[in-house]
Structure 1
Amino acid sequence: MPLHLALLQTVTEHPHTIDYTVQLLNTGETREAKRSGPVTNLLPQPGQLVAVDDTISPLEIVHLYESVDPASLTPADRVHLERTTFPEILARHTPPEQATDPDAASRYMSWTGIAAQIWDPSGGDHPQADHDYLKRIIEQNNGPALDIGCGTGRLTLRYLAAGLDVDGLDPSADMLAICQQKADAQGLKVNLYQQSMHEMALPHKYKTIFIPCGTFCLLINRDDALQALRCMYDALEPGGELVFNLFWEIGKGGWFWEEPDGKWHRMFYNDLPNGDQVFQYMLTDKVDHAEQQFFARRRYRLVRNGQVIHEEIFPSNERVYGKYEIQMMLELTGFRDVKVYDGWQDKPEPFAGKSDVMVIHGRKP
């Protein structure tokens, strides 16, 4: 059967030969191709669909169509086009840029722009397993709480609505703006601070500080991680409690810890209320098992009527911490009664690797 391809870029053009780059829709592979012969009236344009007979060399295109309606393809091809690669093939091919410098200021991902806009529609506002667990901790500690990495207010606003005293902190102005809009719509008064956790300086002290969603993993620099713990210690009242979770398994989790292959891998696909679509991709730059660090980039593509109209790329670097490593880090910064539990369980059990989530507790004397 023919392999359907999309023309991405014309490299050279001559009276009898055209060299160009195509992408196989079936596999997502990009290949160089050549078309020889009278082509004056067949000069392809970027985004134009073509097909190649897979019984001969993939570098020789034998069928070149001026246009192909995706709706006319087989049902399997149509689903593949619409759900997987169709927005991709309408954009010009741009080679991946070089890996980001892990020491650059941009090494920490901050959900801004399209990444912030897509957070709630892609499920970021769901309560999740940590909601009830952390709510009990805040109630038991009986005092103000701080949500670090509050984002669009998934937990902060729910706790405020339940009558708890909770502030939010996040480095992303875009995420905080969405959180504020949601608070206003619900008639909630919320204190929000645009700061990074390793640089925070707040006017209040708290009985509980919590960091959900593995956000602490974003601190890939050990010194910054220790400084963040010092900041949290200082921001707690005596007897106050720090609670957060970490993802810990190197080598597990599918695309999350895969070795670099130079390819963008699709992660999520979401429909927006206005009919636009957002496709999210991940490109792994480096996995450093010795340093427990993962360097990658996320690509967000906004698609309207089959056309890529906007694209943003962010660093997506993370670090994992071992059970005893994180326990000693807390103790080094002054925390006592440090506990490491297995997941967000109603009856916490000591961490034994049953879950890919560690839940850490530490208390300020």
Structure 2
Amino acid sequence: MPPTDEPDYEYRGLMAQAWDSLRGDTSDWPDRAFYRDLIRASGEPVLDVGCGTGRLLLDYASEGIDIDGVDNSPEMLALCREKASELGLEPSLFQQQMELLELPRRYRTIIVPSSSFQLLVERDDAREALRRFRDHLEPGGRLAMSFMLMWSGRPQTAEQADKWHMRKRLAELADRSPKATVRRWSRARYDSDAQLEHTEDRYEVIVDGEVVETEQHSRSPSARWYTQEQSRALFEEAGFADVRLYSEFSRDAATADDRIWTATATAAR
């Protein structure tokens, strides 16, 4: 394989810098209350896996919840630390990969929000990550993570795979002078047999109506998807008990029509 100067983590450069701006206000996202209720029921301390810039972690820490974060992107963690400092918080943040997780303490609750687990495209890495999560839970502790079925189930044409789509909206890019906005274009190809997604993202920085900077991110594959049955089997194979699948972020049981569901399970006592 030829040498490359690209870092071995996905969320970097404009992707990291524009992450919060492009997502906008997430205060009403339904997973926020779901995971908070789980934490209240299962207890602390809590580990937020794939914490990124701290969307959930900083909210929970501000409420007095004992929560740590882990992410494989140093750039996302740096942004999280900056935001934490502005709030007067000093959470413990670790730069590690899920499948290599090795932290100094155990947790009552581990959450893996935003379908971050699906960024592990190798099946062996996914299995190892689940084993690591189990080993980092106290006996009786709970794991919760969301899944998303990325493929629509319909065959994808070459034209559909090649077409770029503008994602979200123009958003102001923080800490830029002169004032700049950013927009994101994306396209994706789906391998239904392998259950893998391949993606390209293009970020454009715009000043006074002109594109002054462009950054492209390609990942092939970028994510793996699972069926509900496969997600349940993963938990059970890793030694978890009381596996439950919920419809999106409700307390209703997942149905066959759900494209988003949250799986929870208990570490053996």
- TM-score using structure 2 length: 0.88
SS in 1 for 2:194: coil
Q: 2:207 aligns with which of 292, 295, 304?
A: 304
Q: 1:287 aligns with which of 180, 186, 190?
A: 190
Q: Check if 1:181 corresponds to 2:82.
A: yes
Deviation readout 1:152-200 (Å, 9 max, x if unpaired)? 1110010011110011111111111111011111111201011111121
Q: Which has the higher contact order (CA 8 A, sep 6+)?
A: 2
- Kept after mapping to 2: 8 A contact 1:200/1:231: yes
Give me the whole-angstrom Cα distance separating, in 2, the residues matched to 1:178 and 1:260: 38
What pairs up with 1:211-290 in 2 under 5 angstroms? Answer: 211-251=112-152, 258-261=156-159, 262-272=162-172, 275-284=179-188, 286-290=189-193
Over aligned residues, Cα RMSD in angstroms? 2.4
- Kept after mapping to 2: 8 A contact 1:342/1:358: yes
Q: How many residues align?
A: 256
Q: 2:248 aligns with which of 343, 354, 359?
A: 343
- Kept after mapping to 2: 8 A contact 1:269/1:277: no
SS in 1 for 2:97: coil
**How far is 1:351 from its partner?**
1.2
Aligned to 2:231: 326
Give me the whole-angstrom Cα distance separating, in 2, the residues matched to 1:361 and 1:350: 11
- Kept after mapping to 1: 8 A contact 2:9/2:73: no
Aligned to 1:143: 44
Cα distance change on mapping 1:252 and 1:163 into 2, 3 Å: farther
What pairs up with 1:66-145 in 2 under 5 angstroms? Answer: 110-123=10-23, 126-127=26-27, 128-145=29-46
**Bigger-Rg structure (1/2):** 1
**How far is 1:149 from its partner?**
1.0
- Kept after mapping to 1: 8 A contact 2:151/2:190: no
Deviation readout 1:120-160 (Å, 9 max, x if unpaired)? 11225613101111011112112200001111111001001
Q: What is the letter of the counterpart of residue 21 of structure 2?
A: P
What pairs up with 1:40-55 in 2 under 5 angstroms? Answer: none
Q: What is the letter of the counterpart of residue 203 of structure 2?
A: Y
Give me the whole-angstrom Cα distance separating, in 1, the residues matched to 2:81 and 2:225: 31
Structure 1: tracts of 5 or more residues without a match? 1-103
Cα distance change on mapping 1:125 and 1:213 into 2, 3 Å: farther
**How far is 1:301 from its partner?**
1.3
Q: What is the letter of the counterpart of residue 329 of structure 1?
A: L
**How far is 1:278 from its partner?**
1.0
Q: Check if 1:314 corresponds to 2:214.
A: no
- TM-score using structure 1 length: 0.66
Give me the whole-angstrom Cα distance separating, in 1, the residues matched to 2:197 and 2:115: 14
Q: What is the letter of the counterpart of residue 64 of structure 2?
A: G
Cα distance change on mapping 1:313 and 1:252 into 2, 3 Å: farther
Deviation readout 1:308-363 (Å, 9 max, x if unpaired)? 22222223512110111111111111111111111111xx1221134321110111
- Kept after mapping to 2: 8 A contact 1:125/1:154: no
SS in 2 for 1:198: helix
Deviation readout 1:283-312 (Å, 9 max, x if unpaired)? 33x421011111111111112223322222
Identity %: 32
Cα distance change on mapping 1:356 and 1:206 into 2, 3 Å: same
Q: What is the letter of the counterpart of residue 153 of structure 1?
A: G
SS in 1 for 2:102: coil
